[in-house]
A and B are shown apart, each in its own frame.
Chain A
Amino acid sequence: MNLYLWLIPVLPFVGFLINGLLGRRLPKALVSTVALAFPLAAFGVVIRAAMLAWPGNGNFTLPYVENFAGSWINAGPLHVDFSFALDQLTLVMLLIITGVGFLIHVYSVGYMAHEEGYWRYFAYLNLFLFFMTVLVLAENYLLMFVGWEGVGLASYLLIGFYFDKKSAADAGKKAFVVNRIGDVGFLLGMFLLLSQFGSLSFGKIGDALALNSGQHGGMLTAIALCLVVGACGKSAQIPLYIWLPDAMEGPTPVSALIHAATMVTAGVYMIARTHGIFDRSPFALAVVAIIGAATAFFAATIGLVQTDIKRVLAYSTISQLGYMFLGCGVAAYSAAVFHLMTHAFFKALLFLAAGSVIHGLGGEQNMLKMGGLRKKLPITFWTMTAGVFAIAGFFPFAGFFSKDAILYEAFQHGTLGKGLYFVGLVTALLTSFYMFRLWYLTFFGESRAAARNSESTPHTSHSPHESPWIMLFPLVILALLSAAGGWIGIERFGNFLSPVVGPVIDPTLESGGKTLDITLSIVAVCVALLGWFLAHIFYGSKNKRAENLAASTPGVYSLLMHKYWIDEIYHNAIVQPLVLGSRYILGWIGEGAIIRGSAWLLAGITTLLGEFLRRWQSGNLRSYSAWLAAGAAVLLLAGLFLGSRVIPGFDPDPGQVLHMTLPAVR
């Protein structure tokens, strides 16, 4: 019996090879078939593995490790295997990646139907699935890093999909560069792990940690902090979150798959996967929790004023990832992964629904030019409503359960946790507000399309239309998941994950736990309702309240509108000094004076010497022969007079060479 784990990444990779190498020449229908068939097959393999390996079935003991090609890297003390492992956490991730990933592939067939480079898009998308599954299947840090870098590559390619647009190409570069900063942290963490444990295998490091149960802090804190830097880069947390909003330059399904549902959660996955190290370092955990809460609040405030529908969702994604970090930081890994799962459902849904709106409006992304779409796009409206309710945290939608679990665990986590709980609660209010703002602006009121038509180019001015069924089908499935995905409940989910990430705090087992849990849930729902209410006051009907508020607090509004000037600060504080330093210090002194100067010096010497020496090469036969004769004469004379000094034992006395005497000259 075999789980064929290797098939899970290889199948999308085959799809990538077929579409990437031949797609240009294949008909569109065949490209779509290939692009959909291989992820679906991978999803099938995951389902089969899940059914065979489900805990309690007794067929396999988890983690189940598949090793390939013996030893992958074997260099001195470094041994790394090319091996995949399946455990409960990986299983959850795989189901999300291949399941949601497949739905988004289906959606893309409709969304990208009229785009140039259709085959290229699907090749990249399949490539992404390949690397993402490698990332979660990897049994050691190095193989995980391969997937980690690979998804970064796929993300870069897809953000810059419209590469003839400068902003898209720049956004791709920005995402890649910012991620590299995080990757440095990940790499340093790996080196430290190697020096500390002599291995990069999750299993072996876990065993080593279990043996030294007294080991705390110190080196483990250093390792954990390095890994956090990596996670912050990939999961768009403060201070490395700046690439994610720009990543919205990519096609909308890409934003849904890579920049909402899967890739950006890799950091959360990594922390949950290496929780053994974090558990031993309360300091690192506190750092994670504070980063998470700060990011959640910070991004939510920016989301309040954005007018681009995708940017609102992007900041919302950063904010929700902050929640997951908060969950990890209070050692509630199963709650964090639970939120990761529900977030994958409702955020993918929100992005796809936003994509459907954008598609229906012929490319319009500004919410101020939407409005009144409830009747025109009914299915999009209802599915998006499910997503909005889920992210705002209304009972019984998915977001309620997972957000509640994180907030509850934070509240239980000492003084710091209580403080962070309130940050989380305020963030929940903001989340609810900006999501309902989006909801009202997009679907309610009267159409502001007139403003759009008069301003924009004529070809976008057709009337809004509902998207084709191939785009609506994934929306409906995801809407059902967003509505019902949380009904598993954190207890069951936590128990399922507990062999990997440790037991979950069960509210029913603690004194007053159940009451506290219910109280906190009611508070959370009330906060969400308050957010809805505020959004209704400001945007529910046609009024000037929002404009008035913005006008009355110009400082705050401008600060939020310009995203706290963070991009500008980074540009001036980091990018600009680097550019200037490169241009003037390295460029003028290093490149100009030292490198180019020394090259010129050498070239000058050679030229001058050549100018002088080339006169010898006159081409005149008699001058050559004269030099030859002169040289021979000089050699002979030198031999005669200096011979014994230059060549030891050489004595040019002819009397010794030849037993004769020169005839006397008479």
Chain B
Amino acid sequence: MHVPNSWYLILSALLFTLGVFGFLIKRNLITVFMSIELMLNAVNLSFVTFAHEWHAVKGQIFVFFVMVVAAAEAAVGLAIIIAIFRARNTLNVDQIDLMKL
């Protein structure tokens, strides 16, 4: 069954919006972090869709780059989150506003 490209785009937009609202609303740092990952993957989906639409391989390749960067970012970000938790005993973003440990 052929699924129109536009559906993928709509799904991508929905995922991105979910990510944005999660990013804004949630207080737990790990949830915020997961929201960022969600946004990245939403964008990945739109990249792939456009690549398919235009029959251009560049979009596909770019997705790999984004995934690599996201992996690295996840490693660093989680390390920071652990460090913050050890120092503060909390992951509430509203209490992490001093820009330092």
A interface, CB within 8 angstroms of B: 618-622, 625-626, 629, 658-663
Please indicate the chain A residues that have their CB under 8 angstroms from the CB of B96 in the complex.
621
Instruction: Say how far A150's CB is from chain B's closest CB, in angstroms.
Output: 60
B24 close to A660 (CB less than 8 A): no
Contact B6 A662 (CB under 8 A): yes
Of the candidates A619, A621, A660, the one whose C-beta lies within 8 Å of that of B6 is A660
Once bound together, how far apart are the Cα atoms of A621 and B53, in whole Å? Answer: 38
Question: B99 at the A/B interface (Cβ < 8 Å)?
Answer: yes
- Give per-residue flags for B70-81: 1 if the beta carbon is below 8 A from chain A beta carbons, else 0: 000000000000
Q: Do the beta carbons of B5 and A658 come within 8 Å of each other?
A: yes
13 more contacts with CB within 8 A, not counting A619-B98, A622-B27, A660-B5, are A620-B97, A621-B32, A621-B94, A621-B96, A622-B24, A658-B6, A658-B9, A659-B53, A660-B6, A660-B53, A663-B4, A663-B7, A663-B10
Give 18 pairs: A residue, B residue, CB < 8 Å, sorted on A.
A619-B99, A620-B94, A621-B32, A621-B96, A622-B24, A622-B93, A622-B94, A625-B23, A625-B32, A629-B24, A658-B53, A660-B5, A660-B6, A661-B6, A662-B6, A663-B4, A663-B6, A663-B7
* Residue among A619, A622, A662 facing the most chain B CB atoms (10 A cut-off): A622
Q: Name the CB-closest residue of B to A630.
A: B24
Cβ contact within 8 Å between B6 and A618: no
Q: Does B50 interact with chain A (Cβ within 8 Å)?
A: yes
- How far apart sit A660 and B7, CA to CA, in the bound complex (Å)? 11
B20 located at the interface, meaning its Cβ lies under 8 Å from any Cβ of chain A in the complex? yes
Q: Are B97 and A619 in contact (CB under 8 A)?
A: yes
Chain A residues near B5 (CB-CB < 8 A):
658, 660
| Min distance, Cβ B44 to any Cβ of chain A, angstroms | 17
Q: Kindly state the separation between the CA atoms of A559 and B72 in the bound complex, as whole angstroms.
A: 95
Nearest residue, chain A, Cβ from B99 = A619
B interface residue numbers (CB < 8 A to A): 4-7, 9-10, 20, 23-24, 27, 32, 50, 53, 93-94, 96-99
Report the nearest A residue to B98, measured CB to CB: A619
A629, B23: Cβ atoms under 8 Å? yes
Q: Is the CB of B53 within 8 A of A629?
A: no
Q: Could you tell me the distance between the alpha carbons of A625 and B29 in the complex, rounded to whole angstroms? A: 13
Chain B residues whose CB sits within 8 angstroms of the CB of A661 once the complex forms: 6
Residues on A with C-beta less than 8 A from B93 are 620-622
Q: Is the CB of A621 within 8 A of B20?
A: no
CB-CB under 8 A from A660, the residues of chain B are: 4-6, 53
In whole Å, how far is A97's beta carbon from the nearest beta carbon of chain B? 72
How distant is A637 from chain B, measured CB to nearest CB, in Å? 14
Residue of A nearest to B23 (CB): A625
Bound-state CA distance A659–B27 (Å) is: 41
Considering the complex, give the chain B residue whose CB is closest to the CB of A617. B99
Distance A626 CA – B10 CA, assembled complex (angstroms):
23
How near does chain B come to A18, taking the closest CB pair, in angstroms?
59
| B24 and A625 contacting across the interface, CB-CB below 8 Å | yes
Tell me if A618 and B97 are in contact (CB < 8 A).
yes
Q: For residue B7, which residues in chain A have a CB less than 8 angstroms away from its CB?
A: 663
Of chain A, the residue at the smallest CB distance from B5 is A660
Residues of B within 8 Å of A618, CB to CB, are 97
B8 → A minimal CB distance (Å)? 10
Bound CA span A629–B7, Å: 24
**Minimum C-beta distance from A565 to chain B (A):** 72
In the complex, chain A residues whose CB is within 8 Å of the CB of B4: 660, 663
**Residues of A close to B32: CB separation below 8 A:** 621, 625
Q: Report whether A626 and B24 are in contact in the complex, using a CB–CB cutoff of 8 Å.
A: yes
The residues of A that contact B98 with a CB separation of less than 8 Å are 619
Query: Once the chains bind, are A629 and B20 in contact (CB under 8 Å)?
Result: yes
Shortest Cβ-Cβ A-B pairs, 6 listed = A619-B97, A621-B93, A620-B97, A660-B6, A629-B20, A662-B6
Within the assembled complex, what's the spacing in Å between the Cα atoms of A621 and B26?
Answer: 11
Query: What's the minimum C-beta distance from A615 to chain B, rounded to whole angstroms?
Result: 14
Alpha-carbon gap, A662 to B9, bound state (A):
10
Name, among A619, A621, A626, A658, the residue most crowded by chain B CB atoms within 10 Å (CB to CB).
A621
CB of B48, distance to nearest CB on chain A (Å): 14
What chain B residues lie within 8 Å of A629 (beta carbons)? Answer: 20, 23-24
Give the docked Cα–Cα distance between A625 and B6 (Å): 29
Q: In whole Å, how far is A314's beta carbon from the nearest beta carbon of chain B?
A: 72
- CB of A512, distance to nearest CB on chain B (Å): 105
Chain A residues contacting B24 (CB-CB under 8 Å) are 622, 625-626, 629
Q: How far does the Cβ of A661 sit from chain B's closest Cβ, in whole Å? A: 7
B14 to chain A, nearest CB (A): 14
Give A22 to B101 CA distance when docked, in angstroms.
57
Which residues on the A side are within 8 Å of B20 (C-beta)?
629
Residue numbers in B under 8 Å from A621 (CB-CB): 32, 93-94, 96-97
Residue of A nearest to B96 (CB): A621
Query: In whole angstroms, how far apart are the Cα atoms of A622 and B97 in the complex?
Result: 9
CA distance A660 to B2 in the complex (A): 14
Nearest-neighbor residue (CB-CB) of B20 within chain A: A629
Chain A: CB-nearest residue to B36 = A625
Q: Give every chain A residue within 8 A of B99 (Cβ-Cβ).
A: 619
Q: Which residues of B contact A620 (CB under 8 A)?
A: 93-94, 97
**Chain A positions within 8 Å of B53 at CB level:** 658-660
